[in-house]
Amino acid sequence: MSKKIAGPEIERLVQLLARLPGLGPRSARKAALALIKRRHDLLIPLAEAIQTAVDRIVECPTCGNVDTVSPCTICQDGRRDPSLIVVVEEVGDLWALERAQVVNARYHVLGGHLSPLDGIGPDKLNIGSLVTRAHADEVKEVLLALNATVEGQSTAHYVTGELASAGVIVTRLAQGVPMGGELDYLDEGTLAAAIKARKHM
C-alpha cells in the first residue's frame, strides 16, 4: 500500500476522480492537483456545476434521456421528425448521434442491453415504454441504433419481436459499424453513413 501524501479530503478527491472512465490513479492525482492549483477558475466552478447537476438532472419519463428539464429538450423540440424513433443503449450513444447531426428525430434510451448472465432481462430495460410509444399514430419507423456487439444485436432481435404489433418499420444501422463497435467511439462520418444506409430488420 502506498503512503498517504495528503489529507483525507484530498485523498478522497483523488479516489473519486480515479473512478471516472479513462482516469487511473495516476491521472486522477494529476487532475486533482490541477483542480487544487486552479481553485477559483476550475475547482469552484466545477463544484458548482456538479451541485447544479445533482439538484436538477432528471431522467426523461418519455425517452430515458438525462436532462435538467422534463420531458427532455429533445422530446420537447417540435422541429424533430415525429415519425422516427431512434433507439440507443445509453445516453452516450444519443450524444454521439447528435454530434454526428445526421438524424433529426427523437430517441429512446434502453438503459443498456440484454445480458442474461448478468441478470439483465427485458424487464430491466426501457422496452415496454418503447413499445407504447411505437403504437402512436405518428410513429412510422423505429431505428435500432444499438452497438454492433453480440449483446447489442441480440437485444435488437428481441426488441424487433416486441415491436411486431406496433405496425412500424423496424430498421438497424448498416454495416460499417465494425463488429464489436460501440457507437460512442465511432467518428461522425462512419455514424452518418451507417444511418443513411440503414437496413430493415
By CB under 5 A, residue 72 contacts Zn ion:
yes
By CB under 5 A, residue 134 contacts Zn ion:
no
The distance of closest approach from Cβ of residue 193 to Zn ion in the complex, given in angstroms and rounded to an integer, is 26
Residue 182 DSSP SS3: coil
By CB under 5 A, residue 133 contacts Zn ion:
no
Residue 85 DSSP SS3: strand
By CB under 5 A, residue 147 contacts Zn ion:
no
Are 88 and 109 in contact, with CB atoms under 8 Å apart? yes
Considering beta carbons, is residue 20 or 136 the nearer one to Zn ion? 136
Considering beta carbons, is residue 76 or 115 the nearer one to Zn ion? 76
- φ, ψ (nearest 5 deg) of residue 62: -85, -55
Considering beta carbons, is residue 86 or 168 the nearer one to Zn ion? 86
Q: Cα 78 to chain center, whole Å?
A: 22
The distance of closest approach from Cβ of residue 26 to Zn ion in the complex, given in angstroms and rounded to an integer, is 38
Give 23-83 as a 3 state SS string. CCHHHHHHHHHHHHHCHHHHHHHHHHHHHHHHHHCEECCCCCCEECCCCCHHHHCCCCEEE
- φ, ψ (nearest 5 deg) of residue 58: -130, 155
Choices 53-61, 80-88, 133-141, 187-195 (CB under 5 A): range interacting with Zn ion: 53-61
The distance of closest approach from Cβ of residue 72 to Zn ion in the complex, given in angstroms and rounded to an integer, is 3
Choices 29-37, 59-67, 112-120, 121-129 (CB under 5 A): range interacting with Zn ion: 59-67
Give the strand pairing for 141-144 and 81-88. Answer: parallel
By CB under 5 A, residue 125 contacts Zn ion:
no
By CB under 5 A, residue 65 contacts Zn ion:
yes
By CB under 5 A, residue 130 contacts Zn ion:
no
Residues interacting with Zn ion, by CB under 5 A? 60, 62-63, 65, 71-72, 75
